[in-house]
Structure 1
């Protein structure tokens, strides 16, 4: 049976003001102008969050499958139809356990894969990562995890200056896994070397990175200028000044700028104390910080809120839609399946009112509220 969703349809080519998305089963079969439509709701592709640690009081960071399912369900209600379960720096035993636990959820489609943010990070830029678990990249560890996961692992964040980083990037690339550069004190040249080896994502650009200096550009400039690198951005007004959000969007372009939440369990929850990677996090007025030193500890963001924030700074809705769906989908190798309203792709879409609040969510051709 064909289902038609009508309104202001946002496609990769722009907005069809009187548009219609036709769906049969789990797939989009057509996207076209529908003259009888009278300026309805916004219809955007389902959001793709390539970096989130949890939400709704649930976390991805402990390797608990029930927690992961609940966290994914929370973000689905906010329009995120595809996400990676991001862990933080952990002992190898937890990385193994999480890979095994989350593999069935990836097979089922609850998760699109795992993102290991660490533990191969720089102590000088670890931010809210637990320094007790930081270590040099290990191809032995990664090889074992890749074998356990059978495609479950989709992205690994590492610091390119650590011993063994280049070998790790090459190993991951050979297995079709994205290498991301983050929590790094690398020089400009070390960052360039990692990009040449195959790294293709900047983990929350600016945050957890050596800052730009006119005599040592550092990782930020190397990542921004590399045409092969997609830059993650946390659009919450806390991680980045809005001027920086606009600067990167203009400099890199929306095809290289991906909005993420970097959310933790506290997303959608009241202020209070939470846990992240074995450390206490205090959330005050929605801002998450480590209790011991005040470092920003992820966010309480959702992708619909990130979209609204980006649009409020002056980014047009079609460009913001690319940043929350099309660009991240391509960055993690899923651009041929999700991330746009186009025939042949999975029927994932979000219906938004004129204030960009979520009205309905469809995933794989089924409405969430059915």
Structure 2
């Protein structure tokens, strides 16, 4: 499959295209496969040129810079750049902080007052900037169940807007959640606009997205769903299971057909029972499929998150927010795909009282995951970085290693976001 425009910055993106050299010095760096103490990360032209463990922690004076380059300057990518360019690069001191890959969000309906289905193209730019405040460097704006013309317009608008995002997090494509969902597990998705799986309708959605559709959520038990899963996978779209009343056997059939991801585990799904494990049992027990989890303490109890961590391979767990425009905002009324949602004490509910997305951000999701489960920082970070990158089949994101994109976040020791980089350029910096 040829490179989609959503996976690269356009030539007109301005500052992102400039030659830029940066060295980030951090108290620790999680790649996230391993942890480096006193790390130096060399960034050139938007990519990571090298990573090393510093022998000493010091102010980056010119003598310190020269000594460090003598130690590491022969590395392949670092050595391709003139030594003086590195000496005079932008050296960023974060000895008291932690550097990690930028977070990757596979499921966001909005944030910061912006809705992914808003027909105004500037809404996607607003989402991109708002996401960067919370350490997110790449994302899939999510389109939900709505009247067909509304879905088509949203897909087309997002496809157009992606070519012009030059600030904030990078859109990697589109996540379509619906309309082929179970009526009895629809959650906030409007029942009047649910559809039975249809190859022709899916093809229309795919064409409206102009090839930017990356993840597609549906219920596997519906008639025609298995053929649709096979078709989506054949087009390079990742079929995801969700909003489903599937039995264990029906969910397994969906996985056999090619489903490789699942959305908001436990929510809008047939509940697990020891005699009827259902779709939850299939997701927990099958290593071919990854599982999103919303760690806001509203969608899922912390003990359920502990059970997930104990039952599922950690590299198959993906932190997701399912955020709406209320994320990062105060309580009050908001919109989700044109639908009214009211936020009270952080919980987002529609007029029927149903949960309607979340007000969660990825940095808080990460802190909650670590606090509730006690898993290592490296494993926790992987759920927001490496694991979602693997779901999308991306080798250049979610990692700190030579050749990867310089999508990075500097975190405090309390795991608060201090600074966010996309392709080596600062897109958010916490005020002093």
The normalised TM-score by structure 2 is 0.82
Gaps (5+ residues) in structure 2? Answer: 1-19, 59-94
**Alignment length (residue pairs):** 368
- Once structures 1 and 2 are overlaid, which stretch shifts more, 231-240 or 94-103? 94-103
Distance 1:188 1:63, change over 3 A: farther
8 A contact 1:106–1:152 mirrored in 2? no
1:271 is matched with which residue?
Answer: 331
1:310 is matched with which residue?
Answer: 369
Q: How do 1:231-246 and structure 2 match up within 5 A? A: 231-246=291-306
| Displacement after TM superposition at 1:167 (Å) | 1.1
- Partner residue of 2:420 out of 356, 361, 366: 361
Q: Deviations over 1:45-87 (max 9, x none)?
A: 0000000100111100334321122122111121110000011
- Once structures 1 and 2 are overlaid, which stretch shifts more, 307-316 or 226-235? 307-316
- Partner residue of 1:57 out of 113, 125, 149: 113
Q: How do 1:51-90 and structure 2 match up within 5 A? A: 51-90=107-146
SS in 1 for 2:202: helix
- Partner residue of 2:32 out of 7, 12, 30: 12
Q: Structure 2: how far apart are the matches of 1:282 and 1:70? A: 21
8 A contact 2:116–2:337 mirrored in 1? no
1:92 is matched with which residue?
Answer: 148
The normalised TM-score by structure 1 is 0.96
Q: Deviations over 1:183-208 (max 9, x none)?
A: 00011111000100000111100000
2:52 is matched with which residue?
Answer: 32
SS in 2 for 1:40: strand
2:13 is matched with which residue?
Answer: none
- Once structures 1 and 2 are overlaid, which stretch shifts more, 96-105 or 163-172? 96-105
- Once structures 1 and 2 are overlaid, which stretch shifts more, 240-249 or 58-67? 58-67
SS in 1 for 2:96: coil
Q: Structure 2: how far apart are the matches of 1:301 and 1:51? A: 11
8 A contact 1:130–1:278 mirrored in 2? no
Gaps (5+ residues) in structure 1? Answer: none
Q: Structure 2: how far apart are the matches of 1:315 and 1:236? A: 17
| Displacement after TM superposition at 1:23 (Å) | 0.7
8 A contact 1:92–1:141 mirrored in 2? no
SS in 1 for 2:385: helix
| Displacement after TM superposition at 1:243 (Å) | 1.4
8 A contact 1:2–1:23 mirrored in 2? yes
- Once structures 1 and 2 are overlaid, which stretch shifts more, 104-113 or 67-76? 104-113
Q: Structure 2: how far apart are the matches of 1:74 and 1:360? A: 13
2:161 is matched with which residue?
Answer: 105
